[in-house]
Structure formats: structure tokens, C-alpha cells
Amino acid sequence: MSIIVNNIQKGFNGTEILKGISFEFEPGKTNLIIGQSGSGKSVLTKCIVGLYEVDKGEVIYGGENFSAMNKAERKHIRTQIGMLFQGSALFDSYSVEQNVMFPLIMFSDMSKEEMIDRVNFCLKRVQLENKNHLFPSEISGGMQKRVAIARAIALNPKYLFCDEPNSGLDPKTSIVIDNLIHDLTKEYNMTTVVITHDMNSVMEIGENIMYIHKGENWWTGDKHSIVTTENKEIGDFVYASEFMKQLRGKLS
């Protein structure tokens, strides 16, 4: 099921951050929100998941107007959302197993055995078998991201949000995380939204991309069209490094 944002506007203390963004995040695809730091990517994502209320516009999940719902009405949509935060946001005092089990305890009627089976399945899916009893402080940043992904998919969500999933990770681990997100999207036919400014991620998993510039939807396309676009801002973003500039010269 798709997520549609219509004319989203959001400001803080009189400063307009999002200036009427509209876009459709397609189901079964890794939808990317890209843009420079401070362009409004994270604010847009927080508006979509309901952490911020929009000033104007609407967010529609599978035909249901999320923006018009009250907190209680939103609950059934929220249980269909999984989210991977930039810093993983794992609960420090919980073990890996307890972290992944948390949404199951809160929102499912599973027995303890069923929950443990589901946790083990999710951890196996992110290649973290036998790490159940470790605590977030005892595992690496990449492993923390994978635990957060396991927690996000524990309830079989329809929508997956990933806020800068590669921040703080080395390039090799970043690709592992990107591919994991991409594979899970296909496997569960989720509507996945990834917020990133990492060009490696864009080229690896970018199927439906929105480029935000100063709070506006500046460009949309996919990973193939982004390298050939004539748009100057996109060009500056994609070919920011000297290496990419040289590569562009050779390609052209």
C-alpha cells in the first residue's frame, strides 16, 4: 500500500521548513528521500510518521488520511509502521531479544514461545543468530542497526522507514544494511522510505527517489536518471566529490 503526501507544509518559530511537498511512495519499492543537510528530509519523515503535526497538507496511508486522525485512530496505522532510527534507538536496558520482542509484547497476542520463535526468525533474517542475550552496548554499530531492523519488522509492517541507515557505518557494512533493507522490502512487499544523503545508497537501492532542496520537492526519478539529469542542484549533490567529478568527465 502506498503512502501519499499532499502539499505538506511545516514550519518552526515562523521559519518555513517544508514548502508544500507532494509525492507518492510506492509499495514494494525502496523510496528514497535525498537532499543536503538541512533540506528538510528528517522533518518530512517525522511529519509522515506523525512525530510532528503538519501545518498544512495531508499524509495518506493506503487510502486513509493519517493527518486527519486523532491519536487513538492513528494507533492501527502505527502498528503497521516499522522504523529504523539514525542512532538505532534501541532500548539500552533491554537485551537484543527484549528489544525485538518489545513490539510483539505490546501489540500482539502471541504466547511467550511464539514470540521467542518470531524474535529468532527476525534475528536470523538479519544474520544475528545467537546474539539474543547481548545488550546494545555490547554489539557494534552495524549490529545495532540490524537489531533495529529486526525490531522494525517484528510485527510484519506494511511500511518501513529508515532514517539515515548508514550513518556512522563503514562502506562495506553500509552496503550490507542497504541490501538488507532492499531485500526485506521485496520479501514483504513493504512501502519502504529511506532518508539518506549517501550516494552509495542512492546507487545501490534507489528505485523511486525524491530530491528535496530547501524544503521543496526539487526532483523525482530513479537511480539511473539521477546520474544523467541536467538539474544543477542534483548534479552538485551527486557529483560532490572530486572523484565523482572526474568520473562524470570520463562518462561524458
The CA-based diameter of the chain, rounded to the nearest angstrom, is: 60
Instruction: Kindly state the cell numbers that stand for 147.
Output: 537489531
Helix and strand tally (H, E) in the chain? Answer: 10, 10
Q: How far is the CB of 252 from other proteins (least distance, A)?
A: 42
Q: Binding of other proteins at residue 89 (CB under 8 A)?
A: yes
**Helical H segments across 126-213, by residue range:** 141-153, 171-188, 199-205
Q: Binding of other proteins at residue 85 (CB under 8 A)?
A: yes
User: Contacts with other proteins: how many residues (CB under 8 A)?
Assistant: 23
Q: Binding of other proteins at residue 105 (CB under 8 A)?
A: yes
Q: Nearest CA to 182 among 156, 148, 208?
A: 208
What track of x and - describes contact with other proteins for positions 196 through 215 (by CB under 8 A)? --------------------
Measured from the CB atom, the residue of 73 and 117 that comes closer to other proteins is 73
Q: What is the DSSP string of 44-62?
A: HHHHHHTSS--SEEEEEET
Q: Binding of other proteins at residue 112 (CB under 8 A)?
A: no
Q: How far is the CB of 82 from other proteins (least distance, A)?
A: 8
Give the footprint of other proteins on this chain (CB under 8 A).
Answer: 46, 49-51, 74-75, 78-79, 81, 83, 85-87, 89-92, 102-103, 105-107, 161
